[in-house]
Amino acid sequence: MDDEIKDHLKQQSTWIRGLYMLMFALFYSLAEVVIFAVVVFQFLLKLFTGKNNQRLLKLGQGLASYIYQIVQFLTFNSEYQPYPFGAWPKGESPASKQLQAESDSTET
């Protein structure tokens, strides 16, 4: 049993993953700050102009997907390493597509 634990402790791949996990935990914290700023700014825009900023919607969606990828990696549910080692997440959620459609219909 002790030899098995020693073998596990000596695995270089586990220690490297640990370093990546620390780095992605830092990226997660930074992404939280940015998403908070997006939330506040988007709310203020909606409050004063009555409209959503489409660029902020896309940024918010990208950040939400990025945070999801980080959490998946940190919890060992995925071996995929998010940005900057992988691609920045693309795609929109159904909710953001609905907001886009509503925004387009009110502008015309």
How far, in Å, CA of 44 to CA of 40, rounded?
6
How far, in Å, CA of 47 to CA of 43, rounded?
6
Taking the CB of residue 62, how many other CB atoms lie within 10 A of it?
A: 19
> What digits encode the pLDDT tens for the residues 11-55?
888 899 999 999 999 999 999 999 999 999 999 999 999 999 999
pTM: 0.78
> What digits encode the pLDDT tens for the residues 69-86?
999 999 999 999 998 888
Closest CA to 53 of 35, 61, 41, 37: 41
**Annotated domain spans of the chain:** 11-107
CA dihedral (75, 78, 82, 86) in degrees, to 10, reads 160
C-beta separation of 28 from 72 below 8 A: no
Taking the CB of residue 67, how many other CB atoms lie within 10 A of it?
A: 18
In this prediction, residue 104 has a pLDDT band, given cuts at 50, 70 and 90, of low
Give the pLDDT mean for 98-102: 62
pLDDT in the model for residue 3: 80
Stronger pLDDT, 70 or 6, i.e. the higher one: 70
Q: Does 94 have pLDDT greater than 80? A: no
Residue 80: helix, strand or coil by DSSP? coil
pLDDT in the model for residue 20: 95
